[in-house]
Amino acid sequence: MTLRFAPVKSILGHMVGFWSLEMAKGKNLLGIDIGASSIKACLLKETKRGLQLQSFDQVEIPAEAIVEGAVMNSGALVDAVREIVLRNKIKIKECALAVAGYSVIIKKITLPLMTREELDESIQWEAEQYIPFDINDVYLAVEILASRSAQGQMDVLLVAAKKETVNDYTAVARDAGLEPVVMDVQACCLQNMYEASYGIEEGKTVVLIDVGAAVTNINVLSDGVTTFTRDIAMAGNLFTEEIQRQLGITYEEAEAYKRGGVDDAGELVIPEEVERVCEQVAEAIAGEVQRSLDFYAATASDSFFAAIYLGGGSARIPALGIMIQNACGVPVELINPFQNIQYDAKTFTAEYLEQIAPSAGVAFGLALRKN
């Protein structure tokens, strides 16, 4: 089945991902987050008491299985997805995937006021002015954010994703025995996750930061709508690489040090020299975050950030949140998609969910989607 473009709405009533392979049927999809260092899967179920977590698991993938968002080792990815499905005895086949990084362009643009039909007809031509790729090599999606009749203008969110990347990701899912139903973008997954877990306050602007292995994604939400995104090519791998370089150890040893250890009391233990390196890298990432938010603030009508929510695999490095908070002057807290969710205490513990929560945002946001 070839991917066909079809704008879709989230179950929460706000704009999210864009590419759908089938019509909606009303069941939650299996969310599959294909990251640069691991694959995560999340399955949710709607009950009378609210959302219930059915399954969450993750499997690490070999280094360079994905490079700058491009699939380099599809076999390893397929094996990881199969392992998760089999280990958790997941029966559902329909899944939601997401693309991110340099294969995706997200831009908020202003266009003359027009109908949805006129927008759909003209967006290919309009997009050529903003997309640095050949327009024939991307899937396009557009969502109207606001209309200003008095000015004869409207604000539109334009998204483009490389067809090659989208097709590679859907091929991984199919080869693993799944059926991809929705293709989303990471920033929109995080927006949905935040809305489901924290709600939306009118007039409030927050920042979602997801520190992956290869890319740090910044997503500014104003009134529950994505108004600014930026990817930074400084992320979790940089911590590992700097520990390896400065301590003269192997990459595997550096990765283990970055993740820390636990003492008899269950507290995180990081050697002093590793902590020093992590502080240096965290300060550099924080500086890039600050510059990104300063850029946004220079053009935004509301430049007051109520909070920064930090997620991703490296979010728990102690220095990172501290450095970002100091650089930006905005309170930083670890994001927790599971804070208001029901779960079976025989399957999950509160401690486990708290530990994995910061890295579960994208998979959780995907699992909110329905087919």
262 part of a folded domain: yes
Q: How confident is the prediction for the chain on average, in pLDDT? A: 88
Among 126-130, 236-240, 276-280, the range scoring the smallest mean pLDDT is: 126-130
Q: What is the DSSP letter of 29?
A: P
pTM: 0.88
Nearest CA among 177, 16, 180 for reference residue 97: 180
Which are the contacts of 238, defined by CB distance < 8 A and separation ≥ 6?
281, 284, 285
**What Cα–Cα distance (Å) separates residue 15 from each residue in 100, 162, 244?**
17, 20, 42
At 81-120, the pLDDT tens digits run 999 999 999 999 999 999 988 889 888 888 999 999 999 8
1 part of a folded domain: no
257 part of a folded domain: yes
267: left (phi over 0), alpha (psi -120 to 50) or beta: beta
Task: Tell me whether residue 12 is exposed, middle or buried, using C-beta atoms within 10 angstroms of its C-beta: 0 to 12, 13 to 18, 19 or more.
Answer: middle
Let me know how many helices (H) and strands (E) the chain has, helices first.
10, 19
Q: Which strand (E) or helix (H) includes residue 209?
A: strand 205-211
Q: What is the DSSP letter of 135?
A: G
352 pLDDT band, cuts 50/70/90, is: very high
Nearest CA among 28, 33, 32, 30 for reference residue 51: 28
The range of the structural domain enclosing residue 310 comes to: 236-333
Contact 134, 151 (CB under 8 A): no
Q: How many domains does the chain have?
A: 1
310 part of a folded domain: yes
Nearest CA among 343, 342, 323, 321 for reference residue 332: 321
Q: Which of 7-11, 105-109, 341-345 has the highest mean pLDDT?
A: 341-345
What is the C-alpha separation between 63 and 50, in angstroms, rounded? 38
291 part of a folded domain: yes
304 part of a folded domain: yes
Question: Does the structure show a pLDDT above 60 at 40?
Answer: yes
Q: What CATH number has the domain bearing residue 241?
A: 3.30.420.40
